[in-house]
Structure 1
Amino acid sequence: MRSLDGRMDELERREELYWRQRSRQDWLKNGDKNTSFFHTKASQRKSRNHIRKIQDAAGNTFCEEEQISEVLVRHFDDLFTTGGQCDSDSVISKVDSEISAAQVAELAAPFDGEEVREALFQMHPTKAPGPDDDSLLFVRANEEETEKVLDILSTYEAASGQKLNMEKSEVSFSRNIDLEKKNMLQMKLSFKAVEGHDKYLGLSTYIGSSKKFFFQSIQDRVWKKLKGWKENYLSQAGREILIKSVAQAIPTYAMQCFSIPVSILNVVEKMCRSFFWGQKGEERKMSWVAWDKLYRAKKQGGLGFRNMRVFNKAMLAKQAWRLLTNKDSLMARVLKGKYFPNSDFFGAKVVPNMSFTWRSILSSREVIERGAFKSVGKGKNVRIWEDLWLPNLPSFKVISTRGDRVSAPNLVNELWEDKSRNLEALSELFT
């Protein structure tokens, strides 16, 4: 009897795993008896992805399964067939060799079974690997740099054997460029001219005065993930995982660059709250625990849900920390050159014409200021009155003010004299 029970458990586990793979719902692990959810999701996915008819390049329509397969094979065969021999030497010759002869021999050796196994197990169990990204190029609007872009793209095509898709390539110009010049450069590139690129890597490239309008898509995406039939097939533990892994993860990427409007975050949080407690539409359901308490970690009696407003601040503070600790990065050099060329990050001023991204990063400055202070070292770059440099004080700053003492020291190194404390200056300033 025990062997039969064990066999039934194994068959149920396999069935759930099968339907999970068919459903492509990677956020939810098998083992929580969610087979009905996986089955329904797989059926929905099959219905959505089913091709009933197809049209070929000549405009002919086909409905039979065999004909549809032939059109698809022909299309992708044409798409991925190279137009000639690849000439990668022109690119490889420009790259300095950094590997030794022994490494070359290792790379050229035949694959063994263990290497194949290791590579396969590094992949996601229900996904196929492949490249996913676009390229955004910035150049001056003149013929010389346009020719350079065309030359680079031509070299790429020759080296890779891939053909640039001109129908999906776009070009946009600054508002300061006159129409005649725009038309001339656009014809030379043969790209489609657009007023602006709507999104790049999922984020808006331009944000106007109505922030709520531009971030409405985040709210809509969360709603699509939570609405409908899902709560009928998920246990409450399954709903918790869906909220954490999908609903609360959707805004994360945008939160690294932008301060999301509080109104948007409040609506997202409300949707998550209603979904978790099983509330539908205007229906009222009992919320057994205050949502604020569910922010706590599980060992503290909560469920570890994110406080979206606090999390947004934390994501932006990470960018601010990058500016402070990686000052030679391209991002740090560009932002410093544009917004605070004559001061440090903490001294950067809020100005009316700053970008929304920079304004968002500056809004997180207070998070860094709560726990960061300057390492004094020799004190040549630490200001006595403005900088945070005293770890034993709550604010890390000098409590007294400089006042009208014009001759008072300005830098910390001025409080030292012949490698010892300048007691006279210390007594005058701080007693």
Structure 2
Amino acid sequence: MFDLITIQNILALYEQASGQQLNKEKTTIFFSKAVNEDTKSEITSFLGVPEVKEYEKYLGLSTVVGRNKKASLIYIKERIWSKLQGWKEKLLFQAGREILLKAVVQAIRTFTMSCFKLPVELCNEVESLIRKFFWGENESYAWQSILKARKVTAAGMLWRVGNGECIQLYDDNWLPGGTSSRILSPRVDELKNSMVACLMDSASGGWNNFLVDQYFFPFEAQRIKEILLYATRQEDCLTLSRTKGCDYSVKSGYQLSDV
């Protein structure tokens, strides 16, 4: 009870200094399961405030979030779903949908996120609802086209070797010229799961010709050694193969899709 008396004295001091007063009619107290009934009764009588048996909300937010955070915050998804159900996406242009999503839906979760960290799974489910509303249920062809273009672009990407630290030796496309951009030579245990950087000689700043000649077919070893390395190591970067200037365009996308 000493702690309660101290808290009460602090609140009384605040009331005298600020001229504001605690409204006990709007004040409640919540106990954990470990608190026995006698202690609960003693504390509520001393403070003069009622006990809260179940979770309640204040300013639209849960006052208590248990271990199952998704279950405690699922109301966010339900509120967003009810909003989206009330809107007719077929009657709105995409610009109108975007305005509604930013002005209303995003505000719902942003307000909650100012106090709580939302579970990743809940965020993914909310993103799914927003995505379906924005693209429209009958516009899956547009979304599928975007996904297909992503696959086509990924298949035509070629790594430009810099420091070699981001490029998988056997699994990435990084050999310019020729019919295959990937290593065709048999995999060896010494280089298993290695990056291209393992083939570089830090002392000379060039390729380790001994390793290259030892583990790769002669024609691939030659292609590797023809790749010029920067005097000052730069980061690896992705470019588009089979395209002029290595830049993406609609024309290059169609060219890659025909390969």
TM-score by length of structure 1 reads 0.29
- Name the TM-score, length of structure 2 as normaliser: 0.45
Select the structure of larger CA radius of gyration.
2
| Bigger RCO of structures 1 and 2 (CA < 8 A, at least 6 apart) | 2
